[in-house]
C-alpha cells in the first residue's frame, strides 16, 4: 500500500489515496502512526473520490479514533491533490468533503488556505455537559472563561466547536512553562466532555500574534493543530484581544487565521512532503 508522509507546521500525517472504504482504517492508523514500529505520524489521512465534492478526506488519529475536522490535514490533502494530478492543472479553488461538511480550499503559490467552516458555541455543538447561566441562549451564546479545576489548578476555559470540540485557556506566562503533559490528558477526558476535547493553552503577544500549544484529542501534544489555531483565534477575538487576522505561533511553525466575527474561519500556512513509501505491514 503506497503512502505519502506530509506535514503542516510539524503536524505530520500519513496520506493514503484509495477507493476502498471497507478496510479497518482505525486499526491501520494505529499501526502506521506508531513512531517506533510504524511510519510515525499524528494521524492517517484517507483520500478517496467524492460524489459531493472534488475529493473526500477522512482523518484517523494515532489512537485509531476518527476526527471530525483537521485543518492541517486538509491543507496536506489539497497540496497532494494538486501535485499528483487529482485536480486540473491551474485549478486555484477546490471543494473537499469531510466528516464536518464540505470545505473550500484555495491554492496560492507558497501556501494553501482552507475554510474551516463557521464556529459554533452551543453546549450541544461542543459538546460540553454544563448548565448555562441564566438568560443564556444555549445554542448560540459563547461560553467564555468557564472555571474548571484540574489537579488543584483552576483553568478558565473558552469553548469552541470547529466541527470538532475545543477548550481554549489563555495563559499570562510563556506557554512553554505550562504543564501540558500533566493537565492535557486530564482536560481531554474530563467528565464534562462526552466526546473528549482538544485543549489549547495560549498567550496573546500582540493584536497580531499569539503563541500556543495544543493537546490533541486522540494524539497528545502535537507541534501544530489547524483547527486548534482556529479555535484560539475565535476565542481571542470574542475576548477582544485581536482583530480579524492573527498569526498563531506553535512549536512547529506559524499558522495564519482570519475570522470576521460572523462567517467562516480561514486557515493558511505551508505544507511539505516528507517522503513516500510502501507499507507492507498489516492492512
User: Following DSSP, what letter does each residue of 58-120 receive, concatenated?
Assistant: EEEETTSPEES--HHHHHHHHHHHHHTTSS-TT--EEEEEETTEEEEEEE-SS-EEEE----B
Question: What 3 state SS string does 109-158 have?
Answer: CCCEEEECCCCECCCCCCCCCCCCCCCCCCCCCCCCCEEEEECCEEEEEE
Nearest-angstrom CA–CA distance, 130 and 123: 7
Q: 33 an active-site residue?
A: no
172 and 189 in a single domain? The answer is yes
Q: Which pLDDT belongs to residue 236?
A: 98
Q: Is 188 helix (H, G, I), strand (E, B) or coil?
A: helix
Position of cell 460524489? 51
Return per-residue pLDDT of the chain as tens, 283 residues. 999 999 999 999 999 999 988 899 999 999 999 999 999 999 999 999 999 999 999 999 999 999 999 999 999 999 999 999 998 888 889 999 999 999 999 998 778 999 999 999 999 999 999 976 544 555 668 999 999 999 999 999 999 999 999 999 999 999 999 999 999 999 999 999 999 999 999 999 999 999 999 999 999 999 999 999 999 999 999 999 999 999 999 999 999 999 999 999 999 998 999 999 999 876 6
Do both 11 and 113 map to the same domain? Answer: yes
Q: Which of 70, 76, 169, 230 is the catalytic position? A: 70
pLDDT tens track for 36-94: 999 999 999 999 999 999 999 999 999 999 999 999 999 999 999 999 999 888 888 99
Determine the angle formed by the axes of helices 71-83 and 226-239, rounding to 10 degrees: 130
Its domain, for residue 30, covers 2-117+270-278
Are residues 159 and 93 part of one domain? no
For position 258, which CATH number holds? 3.10.310.10
Count how many domains the chain has. 2
Active site residue 225: yes
Q: Are 209 and 246 in contact (CB under 8 A)?
A: yes
Grid cell at residue 83: 501535485
How many other C-beta atoms can be found within 10 angstroms of the C-beta atom of residue 278?
7
Catalytic residue among 33, 76, 225, 230: 225
* 178 and 90 both lie in a single domain: no
Give the per-residue pLDDT at 133. 59
- Residue 126 within a domain: no
Q: Are residues 28 and 61 in the same domain?
A: yes
> In this structure, are 38 and 90 located in the same domain?
yes
In a domain, 128, yes or no: no
What's the pTM? 0.94
Amino acid at each position: 500500500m503506497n503512502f505519502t508522509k506530509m506535514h503542516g507546521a510539524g503536524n505530520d500525517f500519513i496520506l493514503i489515496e484509495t477507493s476502498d472504504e471497507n478496510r479497518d482504517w482505525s486499526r491501520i492508523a494505529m499501526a502506521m502512526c506508531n513512531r517506533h514500529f510504524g511510519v510515525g505520524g499524528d494521524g492517517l489521512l484517507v483520500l478517496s473520490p467524492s460524489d459531493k465534492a472534488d475529493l473526500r478526506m477522512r482523518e484517523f488519529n494515532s489512537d485509531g479514533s476518527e476526527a471530525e475536522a483537521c485543518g492541517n490535514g486538509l491543507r496536506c490533502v489539497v497540496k497532494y491533490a494538486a501535485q499528483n494530478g487529482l485536480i486540473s492543472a491551474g485549478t486555484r479553488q477546490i471543494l473537499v468533503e469531510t466528516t464536518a461538511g464540505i470545505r473550500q480550499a484555495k491554492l496560492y503559490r507558497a501556501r494553501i488556505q482552507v475554510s474551516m467552516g463557521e464556529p459554533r458555541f452551543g453546549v450541544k455543538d461542543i459538546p460540553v455537559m454544563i448548565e448555562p447561566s441564566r438568560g443564556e441562549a444555549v445554542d448560540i451564546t459563547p461560553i467564555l472563561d468557564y472555571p474548571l479545576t484540574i489537579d488543584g489548578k483552576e483553568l478558565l476555559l473558552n469553548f469552541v466547536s470547529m466541527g470538532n470540540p475545543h477548550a481554549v485557556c489563555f495563559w499570562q506566562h510563556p506557554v512553554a512553562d505550562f504543564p501540558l503533559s500533566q493537565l492535557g490528558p486530564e482536560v481531554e477526558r474530563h467528565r464534562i466532555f462526552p466526546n473528549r476535547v482538544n485543549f489549547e493553552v495560549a498567550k496573546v503577544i500582540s493584536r497580531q500574534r499569539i503563541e500556543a500549544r495544543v493537546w490533541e484529542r486522540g494524539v497528545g501534544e502535537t507541534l501544530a493543530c489547524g483547527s486548534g489555531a482556529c479555535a484560539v483565534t475565535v476565542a481571542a477575538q470574542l475576548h477582544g484581544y485581536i482583530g480579524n487576522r492573527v498569526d498563531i505561533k506553535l512549536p512547529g511553525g506559524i499558522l495564519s487565521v482570519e475570522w470576521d466575527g460572523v462567517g467562516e474561519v480561514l486557515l493558511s500556512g505551508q505544507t511539505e512532503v516528507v517522503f513516500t513509501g510502501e507499507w507492507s505491514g498489516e492492512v
